[in-house]
Amino acid sequence: MLPIRALAATAALLLTTATMLRAETITVVSSGGFSETYKVLGPRYEAASGNKLNSQWGPSMGKTVDAVPQRMARGEDIDVLIMVGYALKKLADDGKVIPDSVTPLGGAAIGMAVKQGAPVPDISTVEKLRAVMLAAKSIAYSDSASGVYIESTMLKKLGIEDQVKGKSKMIPAEPVAMGVARGESEIGFQTISELKPIPGVTIVGPIPDGVQQMTWFSAGIVKGSKHEAAARALIKTLSGPDAVPVMIDKGMVPGAPK
């Protein structure tokens, strides 16, 4: 019996060693809008595949050191990008991302937050949102897609661009809700999926349909990745049916724009 047990133990060790040797480490950079969903689905992929994820975070656009455009310009070794869909498509068009790897994941609506304990204003209509923004002492929004839309388009739609210019600011490098929680801004705007995990704030709700713009996120593989097959399997996990309830729980709408 002893030799048989020894042989079995040796075989098990060899199998474990072979599995470890086959395991790959995939470097992923995700924008904040998808990060909470990724934090649930990523470990599921690791458990099922035996591969490891080197997870990093950075906005889809902007000039902060962690922003995807800056990482790409530095030539960082990245396998998978999870970011705003139109920005990822541009990278694919520029030959930096494998075009047929680009996969829609889901979208998130823009919401508004106030400091926890502060009065919760009514923003159920465009006119009420306009009045709240005019009355606010300070306004913050992100330096990524939702904030770019607010600054370049929504304020014009509301007709208040000049009136709020002196009290509005674009926040780089951290979630907008953090500044709201600290009392640095009276109201803050970002995708609901990015507002939701931050303690110390109350999410007032999504902004009205008349000025709403969904931010849609996609995943893609950086051209030249040495782990393309494993990266495709990860993207399949992030976009598959098991991802749907996770996205909904994290404040997202699964799938592609209709």
For 30-63, the three-class secondary structure string (H helix, E strand, C coil) is ECHHHHHHHHHHHHHHHHHHCCEEEEEECCCCCC
Q: Superfamily for 110-211? A: Periplasmic binding protein-like II (3.40.190.10)
- Give the mean pLDDT of 237-251: 96
Banded model confidence at residue 226, pLDDT cuts 50, 70, 90: very high
Residue 43: which of 242, 256, 252 has the closest Cα? 242
The per-residue pLDDT for 257 is 87
Domain 2-107+217-254 has CATH 3.40.190.10: yes
Compute the mean pLDDT over every residue in the chain, rounded to the nearest whole number.
92
Measuring CA to CA, which residue among 193, 176, 32, 163 is closest to residue 115? 176
pLDDT at 164: 97
Predicted confidence band of residue 8 (pLDDT cuts 50, 70, 90)? low
- Both tokens of residue 252? 């997202």
Q: Band of the pLDDT at 173, cuts 50, 70, 90?
A: confident
| Strand 187-191 with 110-115, pairing | antiparallel
Range(s) for CATH 3.40.190.10 in the chain? 2-107+217-254, 110-211
Confidence of residue 154 (pLDDT cuts 50, 70, 90): very high
Residue 80: pLDDT over 70: yes
The answer to whether residues 206 and 87 touch, using CB atoms and an 8 Å cutoff, is no
**Prediction pTM value:** 0.85
Q: What is the CA radius of gyration of the chain?
A: 22
Question: In this predicted structure, what is the pLDDT of residue 28?
Answer: 98
Tell how strand 139-142 and strand 187-191 pair up: parallel
Is 7 a residue whose pLDDT tops 80? no
